[in-house]
Amino acid sequence: MKRSLKTVLGAACVAMLFGHAALAQSAAPDPTAAANAYVNAPHNWQLWFPVAGSPMQAKIDWLMQYVLWIMTGVVVFVGALMVYVFFRFNAKANPKPSQVTHNTVIEVIWIVVPVLILAIVIIPSINLIYYEADDTNPYMTVTVTGHQWYWEYSYNSVPGLDYTSYMIPDDKIQPGEIRRLSVDHPLVLPVGEKIKFVITSGDVLHGFYLPSLGVQKYAIPGTNQTSWTIIDKPGTYYGQCNQICGLNHDAMPIEIKAVPLADYLAWTKDALANYTDNTITQPFSSPLPHNQLALRN
Ligand SMILES: [Cu+2]
């Protein structure tokens, strides 16, 4: 009895997998194919930020380098002064310490110089904060909802287009996919257009984090946060939930397929026609712990 149930379940799984593959093949040509030309993913031994894929991330990158070099200058200068003081004014080298307690010139310098340093840091920082906050006049808006443990994307400008996106479990990874980053149904977006994200949550705190596109916002139940991006060129971009949200926090990556506008429009028609009840059903994973995932499939 037990074996026959297993056989039936196995057959059902195979049918689902083949059904899924057949659907993907029949939908040729794939409107998201242009996104395969360029993959913006993390790699081993990577340093610094990912390659910027949007003007926002390019600005963030610039500001990070700018502040880093100023900070390095301050650390080197203060460190060198301290080392000098340790050697020049220790009890052995300088047995009779000076009794001077005030020096107006040096006191003015050590107030004014740090104020100037703060000013040259704060001006580009505030500029960037205003730039990031300006989500006006987007070409389109996507409502992103975090769930335990998957994402839901709802296209505000395409009525009925609302679907879920699950990570592909390790044992289902196909060639060309990236373990722990690829998903069953990516977020498809046009390049060169301003895309606004309205970010919220259906249960607990999540984080919608797209490091190569300069987007990072908490997904908070009961409220909306907004962000935006303009993707520079067609490609596949990745992100992850970056707010500890429970057991499978690590299993809700974000995969974005960025394609030319015409392809994006073709994809929306495709998606509306192919998604049952306008919601993509996902055959691969479930919001279950990894050990239960294996049992289920
Ligand atoms: Cu999460």
Overall average pLDDT of the 137-149 stretch: 93
* Ligand 1 center–CA 146 separation, angstroms: 6
**Max CA-CA distance within the chain?**
95
* Ligand 1 center–CA 197 separation, angstroms: 16
User: pLDDT above 70 covers what percent of the chain?
Assistant: 83
Q: Is-contact 167 110, C-beta < 8 A?
A: no
* Ligand 1 center–CA 104 separation, angstroms: 55
pTM of the model: 0.79
Please give the Cα distance from 203 to 222 (Å, whole number): 9
* Ligand 1 center–CA 205 separation, angstroms: 7
pLDDT of 6 > 60? The answer is no
pLDDT of 295 > 60? The answer is no
* Ligand 1 center–CA 210 separation, angstroms: 13
* Ligand 1 center–CA 80 separation, angstroms: 45
* Ligand 1 center–CA 204 separation, angstroms: 8
- Within a 13 Å sphere around the CA of 59, how many CA atoms are in the beta-carbon half? 16
Please give the Cα distance from 178 to 252 (Å, whole number): 13
Overall average pLDDT of the 42-65 stretch: 94
Coil, strand or helix at 64: helix
* Ligand 1 center–CA 180 separation, angstroms: 14
Q: What is the pLDDT of residue 28?
A: 59
pLDDT of 293 > 50? The answer is no
* Ligand 1 center–CA 245 separation, angstroms: 5
* Ligand 1 center–CA 249 separation, angstroms: 5
* Ligand 1 center–CA 84 separation, angstroms: 50
pLDDT of 292 > 80? The answer is no
* Ligand 1 center–CA 134 separation, angstroms: 25
Mean pLDDT over each residue of the chain, to the nearest integer = 85
* Ligand 1 center–CA 94 separation, angstroms: 60
Task: Tell how many helices (H) and how many strands (E) occur in the chain.
Answer: 5, 11
* Ligand 1 center–CA 219 separation, angstroms: 8
